[in-house]
Amino acid sequence: MARRRGGVAAAAAAAASPAVVGAVSVMALVYYSTVFIFLDHWLGLGTTAGAANAAAFSVVVAACFFSFLCAAAADPGSVPASFAPDAEDPQRQGLKSRYCDKCCMYKPSRTHHCKVCKRCVLKMDHHCVWINNCVGYANYKSFIICVLNATIGSLYSLVVFLFDLFQTEHEFDVPYVKVIHKH
Ligand SMILES: [Zn+2]
Ligand SMILES: [Zn+2]
């Protein structure tokens, strides 16, 4: 139950961050302009090719958005309350460096304290401002899936934009073309 509350609190905190709102806005803007402006103008959403491209692009963006939410809302990796350094560990001389002064507890190896999250995170990779969360043991996979889908989506969007720009005979009815030709 505590874990569930923590997840909700983390999701609420993540949603309040301007960088997270910015990232979601960019996703929405790219999706809207790619499908409803460039793709519609190039192939037409009523055609089979246009509808197929819109469906494929929607799947990529949905996967990106879902993995983004998972990475942002996840607990990146809490140190178990029961964790205690092994007294028989031959490397116990190094224990002092594995004690977190801020959390006042011992931490397993590869655990680091995040100054932004104000807590220790298992296998901490880095603190990502775009998800307003640390990337660690528990959300590394969803973070990588999000980055991969964002890369595929960006390239897809760029290709659709370029095809629309060079393969469509513009009739000066689209705002961005008007803007380009005015100057
Ligand atoms: Zn700590
Ligand atoms: Zn952090």
Question: Does some domain include residue 39?
Answer: yes
Ligand 2 mean position, distance from CA 133 (Å)? 5
Residue 8 belongs to some domain of the structure: yes
- The string of pLDDT tens digits covering residues 126-173 is 999 999 999 999 999 999 999 999 999 999 999 999 999 988 776 655
Output the six-digit token pair for 28: 């929405």
Q: Which ligand is nearest to the CA of 78?
A: 1
pLDDT in tens, 68-122: 999 999 999 999 888 887 766 555 555 666 899 999 999 998 999 999 999 999 9
Q: Is residue 38 one of the residues assigned to a domain?
A: yes
Residue 61 domain-assigned? yes
CA of 120 to the centre of ligand 1 (A): 4
**Quick one: pLDDT at residue 169?**
72
Question: Which listed ligand is nearest to 134 at the C-alpha?
Answer: 2
* Ligand lying nearest the CA atom of residue 135: 2
User: Is residue 23 in a domain?
Assistant: yes
177, pLDDT greater than 60: no
Ligand 2 centroid – CA 119 distance (Å) = 8
Cα 144 to middle of ligand 1, angstroms: 25
Predicted confidence at residue 49, as pLDDT, reads: 97
Q: Is 114 a catalytic residue?
A: no
| In a domain? residue 51 | yes
Beta strand extents in the chain (DSSP E only):
99-100, 105-106, 112-114, 119-121, 126-128, 133-135
Query: Which residues, at least 6 apart from 65, have a Cβ–Cβ distance to it below 8 Å?
Result: 24, 27
Give the Cα separation of 158 and 33 in Å (integer).
11
Between the CA of 155 and the centroid of ligand 2 the distance, in Å, is 29
- Cα 134 to the center of its chain, rounded Å: 11
Q: How far is the CA of 65 from the centre of ligand 1 (A)?
A: 30
pLDDT recorded at residue 171: 61
- Is 105 in a helix, a strand, or coil? strand
Domain count, the chain: 1
Its domain, for residue 54, covers: 2-77+139-182
**pLDDT computed for residue 92 by the predictor:** 57
| 59 assigned to some structural domain | yes
Residue of 70, 103, 120, 128 marked catalytic: 128
Cα(29) to centroid(ligand 2), Å: 27
The answer as to whether 107 is a domain residue is no
Query: Other CB atoms closer than 10 Å to residue 75's CB: what's the count?
Result: 18
pLDDT per residue as tens digits for the range 4-54 = 555 566 566 656 789 999 999 999 999 999 999 999 999 999 999 999 999
Task: Point out the ligand nearest to the CA of residue 98.
Answer: 1
For residue 111, report the phi and psi dihedrals to the nearest 5 degrees: -105, 135
